[in-house]
Amino acid sequence: PSLYHSTYCELYSFPSHCQDETYRCLAGQGGSMIKFLTKGLLRDRSRSLFPVLVITLTVTLVIFTLGFMKGSMNSLLLDTAVILTGHEKIVTRAYNEESQLMPNDLALLDVDQLIDDLEKNYPDFFWTPRITFAGLLDIPDEKGETKAQGPVIAFGIDFLSDGSRQVEIWELERSLVSGKLPENRNDALISSKLANQLNLSAGESVTFIGSTMDNAFTTYNFNVSGTFNLRKGQTDKQMMLVDLSGARLALDMENTASAIFGFTHSLYYNDKKAVALRTDYNNTKSDSLDIFSPLMLALRDGNQMGTMVDISGAMLAIMGGIFLVVVMVVLWNMGLMNGLRRYGEVGLRLAMGESKGQVYRSMISEAV
């Protein structure tokens, strides 16, 4: 102990009057030694405060940036999911092949039973039927004669059922421009762009002209309860939203639907879980030989969304990697600076692998 005490004090140039105290600390119990070293670290800010600050700030920045990017990407995916794909979507195999034509004659049957089975087997999602149809919208004047007409694409959405979250995921309370939300099956919401085009306002009546599920001619009157603007460019230019029960009555589609949409309860899209669920459902419930057999599609399966999902994942990984490299460089530089202060330039260069000859030659050349 006396030899260690003498060497340690000489190495760190402790004054003679404190060498006895240092020896007592070093020769004492382990707790005292830890306390001694801890005090030294805390008093040397370059070895305690600054590394902690750098790591804390960097980790905070990484978490915030990745969280912000994930949130922004999820918001973009949710916009697409609400209108077109859902996090999961179930259609018949035949409907999927002709989906651009909105062929409701190939729609799902016995939808209530399908949804009951889905809620039982896949409770991590909530499931809602959807009818997508298109036709002509006729606006009558005071005499009941046609004042204006225009094409319309309509969505039959489950607005009125207990526990429905359609108003929430469509953000209709925020998007409502005039009027009010639908309160009965004959109410309809019209895009503000379409309303301006047809000189239409809330409170008026419109007539939908189209075809039923059986391709029969149909007309049905809707009351315009309000107008909305989704703020998504031209997406809602010719859009009309009606309650599912009204759409079924207009198109003679009782207990049927164009598709069943599934969303996670948190509305956050997890691609791995969605793909796993799709694969499990199609392996157990879908018959590849039956064109009317239900087929589940994940969000990545529609409208080239798979590429966007893959790119977003790669971007997040790249950003995370860049931040980690920055942290490593900063901490490495801090270590070099600490080493430079403690060992001097010559010792540091030798520690990094330079030979004595290289060090001598460079110092001589610098001096000259």
Q: What is the mean pLDDT of residues 48-71?
A: 79
Global pTM reads: 0.74
Looking from the CA of 17 toward its CB, the CA atoms found within 13 Å total 0
The predicted-structure confidence for 166-180, as pLDDT tens digits, reads as follows: 999 999 999 999 999
CB-based burial of residue 24 (10 Å sphere; 0-12 exposed, 13-18 middle, 19+ buried)?
exposed
Lowest-confidence pick of 3-12, 59-68, 125-134, 165-174: 3-12
206, 186 contact by CB (below 8 A): no
Give the residue among 78, 110, 80 at the shortest CA–CA distance from 92. Answer: 110
Residue 15 has pLDDT above 80, yes or no: no
102, 132 contact by CB (below 8 A): yes
135, 208 contact by CB (below 8 A): yes
- If one counts every other C-beta atom within 10 angstroms of the C-beta of residue 72, the result is 11
Higher pLDDT, 46 or 234: 234
H/E element holding 344?
Answer: helix 305-351
Residue 56 confidence (pLDDT): 82
Residue 263 pairs in a beta bridge with 126
Q: What is the mean pLDDT of residues 125-137?
A: 95
Residue 64 confidence (pLDDT): 85
**Could you give the dihedral angle defined by the CA atoms of residues 267, 272, 277 and 278, in that order, rounded to the nearest 10 degrees?**
100
H/E element holding 228?
Answer: strand 217-228
Q: What is the mean pLDDT of residues 81-95?
A: 93
Give the residue among 115, 149, 156 at the shortest CA–CA distance from 251. Answer: 156
Higher pLDDT, 135 or 335: 135
Distance CA 16, CA 27 (A): 17
Give the residue among 226, 196, 207, 201 at the shortest CA–CA distance from 146. Answer: 207
Q: Please state, rounded to an integer, the average pLDDT across all residues of the chain.
A: 83
Residue 1 confidence (pLDDT): 43
Residue 4 has pLDDT above 60, yes or no: no
H/E element holding 16?
Answer: helix 16-27
The predicted-structure confidence for 265-289, as pLDDT tens digits, reads as follows: 999 999 899 999 999 999 998 888 8
**Model confidence band, residue 305 (pLDDT cutoffs 50, 70, 90):** confident
β-pairing verdict for 125-140 and 205-211: antiparallel
Q: pLDDT over 70 for what percent of the chain?
A: 84
Distance CA 265, CA 277 (A): 15
89, 262 contact by CB (below 8 A): yes
Distances in whole angstroms, Cα of residue 2 to Cα of each of 11, 19, 27, 28, 134: 14, 11, 9, 13, 95
Taken as a whole, the chain contains a residue count of 368
Burial 300-319 (b: 16+ CB within 10 A, else e): bbbeebeebbeebeeeeeee
CB-based burial of residue 267 (10 Å sphere; 0-12 exposed, 13-18 middle, 19+ buried)?
middle
**Model confidence band, residue 351 (pLDDT cutoffs 50, 70, 90):** low
Distance CA 30, CA 198 (A): 86
295, 96 contact by CB (below 8 A): yes
Q: Token pair of 1, please?
A: 């102990």
Residue 52 confidence (pLDDT): 77
Q: What is the mean pLDDT of residues 22-36?
A: 58
